[in-house]
């Protein structure tokens, strides 16, 4: 049975470190890691978040004061400004590509954040992991997990036992071929790999025979939320304004909605590189008065509670955090049945509607179905609230606590170079 945080009989705390590429940025992974770090601190563990780079003065999400936030490379003064391809002088981009050819990187070019992993960044991470005294180290994206796996093999004799866990916040199939190949080679050095969905667990187990793979979903930050009253004429979507999130498809679908329900509005929260293109698309479709790009907000919970419907239009996902958070407000969800995540939570016709991936007409019709029928929205919203209960902090945090303590116990028995204790590898699986 799981121990409760801050309760009697709690085991001595571990030192747990989460490695994030940029803890000062925005995004579901960063928010999830901040929430998880706080939960582990409440269990009595000593917790740090390690930001590989820092390009802002303050983090964008609240962080439990018991969690220490540290940085490896402070780039606020412009250091590293030439490290990224977008918006830098061409000579710097050419120089970087030549350097990567002369000194092959650990992180493949297909990693979605490959431009951040300059030689200096890779060296900093490798050195940091190599010199750690021990504890639990959690990577949070493929590039970081691969660097951790490389560094583990180079740790000096006599180094303290280090438990390494690779978190995957995106499904395996969406990674490019070179990244999947690197994962297949490198992740075998990790003590465990944690994924978000049942489908991804099966895929990773096939790719990594003999490696412990655990499915632990992301947790919402709270189940105690103000509920939608289903009286507004607002549809809400949220996420980074990039191709993955499919907001171009959503706007096209909403044009069909407006033809039947001209008083309804679509509010999209988030920032990103597709903002101008999405604004132009809304204008071309005559939706300037119906589609609003709301930008970044620190009051998303309030905006969700004020809406009557949430739409997820992603082309692919891991386990979409914002969808789960919408459900905590008793909002029904209309979603593409994209790989992966939505179908793990959405029971079609019960707590939301699933539409074939990329089916713009189907997405429009699903929204129209719910807009037309308030009683159906209310019923699905109540079902959504029941379904998301299993993703609350009280349900998810103990699973991380159990995984970390079990792996650490195995490491203490076998030593830094020992094999994983797989005797109870299935304990956490639902």
Residues paired with residue 51 on neighbouring β-strands, in sequence order: 20, 71
pLDDT at 78: 66
Residues paired with residue 291 on neighbouring β-strands, in sequence order: 266
Residues 129 and 191 in one domain: yes
Q: How far apart are CA 302 and CA 206, in angstroms?
A: 42
Assessment of whether the complete model's pTM goes beyond 0.85: no
Q: Reduced to 3 states, what is the DSSP secondary structure of residue 336?
A: strand
Q: What is the DSSP code (8-state) at residue 103? A: S
Asked, for residue 426, whether it belongs to a domain, the answer is no
**Residue pLDDT, tens place only, 288-345:** 999 999 998 889 999 999 999 999 999 998 888 899 999 999 999 999 999 888 998 9
Q: Is the pLDDT of residue 363 over 70?
A: yes
Q: What is the CATH number of the domain that holds 405?
A: 3.40.50.2000
Q: How far apart are CA 235 and CA 367, in angstroms?
A: 9
Q: How far apart are CA 381 and CA 375, in angstroms?
A: 10
Asked, for residue 185, whether it belongs to a domain, the answer is yes
Residues 70 and 130 in one domain: yes
How many Cα atoms sit within 13 Å of 263 on the Cβ side?
5
The model's confidence at residue 417, banded by pLDDT at 50, 70 and 90, is: very low
Q: Rounded to whole angstroms, what are the CA distances from 426 to 73, 211, 291, 392?
A: 38, 12, 47, 22
Asked, for residue 242, whether it belongs to a domain, the answer is yes
The DSSP secondary structure of 348-412, one letter per residue, reads: BTTTEEEE-TT-HHHHHHHHHHHHH-HHHHHHHHHHHHHHGGGGSHHHHHHHHHHHHHHHHHHHH
Percent above pLDDT 90 for the chain: 74
Residues 191 and 53 in one domain: yes
pLDDT at 12: 64
Residues 180 and 274 in one domain: no
Q: What is the mean pLDDT of residues 15-22?
A: 98
The DSSP secondary structure of 304-320, one letter per residue, reads: HHT-SEEEE--SS-SS-
Phi and psi torsions of 56, nearest 5°? -135, 160
Residues paired with residue 353 on neighbouring β-strands, in sequence order: 334
**Residue pLDDT, tens place only, 84-142:** 433 444 454 555 555 555 556 899 999 989 999 999 999 999 999 999 999 999 999 99
Asked, for residue 422, whether it belongs to a domain, the answer is no
Residues 381 and 398 in one domain: no
Asked, for residue 205, whether it belongs to a domain, the answer is yes
Q: Is the pLDDT of residue 14 over 70?
A: yes
Residues 200 and 254 in one domain: no
Instruction: Evaluate whether 112 touches 273 at the Cβ level (below 8 Å).
Output: no
pLDDT at 341: 85
Q: Which residue has the tokens 């080679």?
A: 185
Asked, for residue 278, whether it belongs to a domain, the answer is yes
How many domains would you assign to the chain? 2
pLDDT at 422: 33
**Residue pLDDT, tens place only, 131-174:** 999 999 999 999 999 999 999 988 988 788 999 999 999 889 88
pLDDT at 201: 94
pLDDT at 428: 33
Nearest to 192 by CA among 161, 210, 216, 166: 166
pLDDT at 416: 39
Nearest to 171 by CA among 23, 341, 315: 341
DSSP 3-state percent helix, strand, coil across the chain (nearest 5):
40, 15, 40
Which comes out higher in pLDDT, residue 84 or 386? 386
Asked, for residue 224, whether it belongs to a domain, the answer is no
Tell me which range, 70-84, 347-361, 408-422, is most confidently predicted by mean pLDDT. Answer: 347-361
Q: Which of 9-23, 259-273, 392-406 has the lowest mean pLDDT?
A: 9-23
CB atoms within 10 A of CB 293: 20
Residues 62 and 92 in one domain: yes
Residues 186 and 271 in one domain: no
Q: Is the pLDDT of residue 420 over 50?
A: no
Residues 214 and 278 in one domain: no
Residues 94 and 215 in one domain: yes
Structure tokens at 418: 């020992």
Which structural domain, as residue segments, surrounds residue 357?
Answer: 234-391
Residues 364 and 319 in one domain: yes
Instruction: Evaluate whether 168 touches 203 at the Cβ level (below 8 Å).
Output: no
Q: Is 403 left (phi over 0), alpha (psi -120 to 50) or beta?
A: alpha
Average confidence score pLDDT of the chain: 88
Residues 323 and 346 in one domain: yes
Q: Which residue has the tokens 């190949």?
A: 181
The model's confidence at residue 414, banded by pLDDT at 50, 70 and 90, is: very low
Q: Rounded to whole angstroms, what are the CA distances from 206 to 8, 15, 213, 260?
A: 40, 31, 10, 47
Q: What is the DSSP code (8-state) at residue 147? A: H
């Amino acid at each position: 049975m799981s121990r409760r945080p801050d309760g009697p009989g709690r085991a001595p705390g571990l030192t747990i470190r989460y490695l994030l590429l940029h803890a000062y940025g925005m995004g579901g992974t960063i928010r999830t890691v901040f929430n998880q770090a706080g939960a582990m601190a409440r269990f009595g563990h000593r917790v740090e978040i390690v930001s590989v780079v820092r390009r802002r003065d303050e983090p964008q999400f609240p962080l439990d004061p018991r969690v220490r936030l540290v940085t490896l490379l402070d780039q606020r003064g412009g250091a590293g400004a030439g490290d990224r391809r977008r918006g830098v002088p061409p000579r710097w981009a050419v120089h970087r590509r030549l350097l990567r050819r002369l000194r092959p990187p650990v992180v493949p070019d297909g990693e979605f954040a490959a431009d951040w992993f300059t030689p200096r960044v890779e060296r900093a991470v490798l050195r940091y992991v190599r010199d750690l005294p021990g504890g639990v180290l959690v990577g949070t994206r493929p590039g970081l997990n691969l660097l951790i796996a490389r560094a583990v093999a180079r740790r000096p004799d006599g180094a303290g036992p280090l438990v390494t866990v690779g978190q995957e916040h995106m499904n395996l199939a969406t990674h490019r071929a070179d990244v999947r190949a690197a994962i297949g080679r490198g992740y075998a050095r990790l003590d465990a790999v944690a994924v978000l969905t049942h489908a991804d667990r099966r895929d990773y187990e096939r790719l990594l025979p003999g490696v412990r793979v655990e499915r632990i979903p992301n947790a919402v930050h709270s189940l105690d939320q103000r509920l939608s009253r289903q009286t507004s004429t607002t549809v809400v979507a949220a996420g980074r304004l990039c191709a993955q999130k499919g907001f171009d498809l959503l706007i096209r679908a909403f044009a069909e909605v407006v033809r039947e329900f001209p008083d309804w509005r679509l509010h999209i929260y988030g920032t990103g590189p597709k903002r101008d293109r999405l604004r132009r698309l809304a204008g071309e479709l005559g939706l300037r008065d119906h589609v609003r790009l709301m930008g970044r907000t620190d009051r998303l919970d309030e905006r969700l509670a004020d809406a009557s419907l949430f739409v997820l239009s992603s082309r692919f996902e891991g386990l979409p955090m914002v969808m789960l958070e919408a459900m905590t407000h008793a909002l029904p969800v209309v979603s593409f049945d994209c790989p992966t995540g939505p179908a793990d939570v959405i029971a079609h016709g019960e707590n939301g509607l699933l539409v074939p991936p990329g089916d713009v007409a189907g997405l429009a019709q699903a929204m129209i179905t719910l807009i037309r029928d308030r009683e159906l929205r209310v019923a699905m919203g109540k079902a959504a609230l029941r379904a998301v209960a299993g993703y609350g902090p009280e349900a998810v945090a103990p699973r991380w606590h159990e995984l970390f303590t079990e792996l650490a116990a195995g490491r203490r028995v076998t030593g830094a170079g020992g094999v994983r204790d797989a005797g109870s590898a299935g304990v956490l699986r639902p």
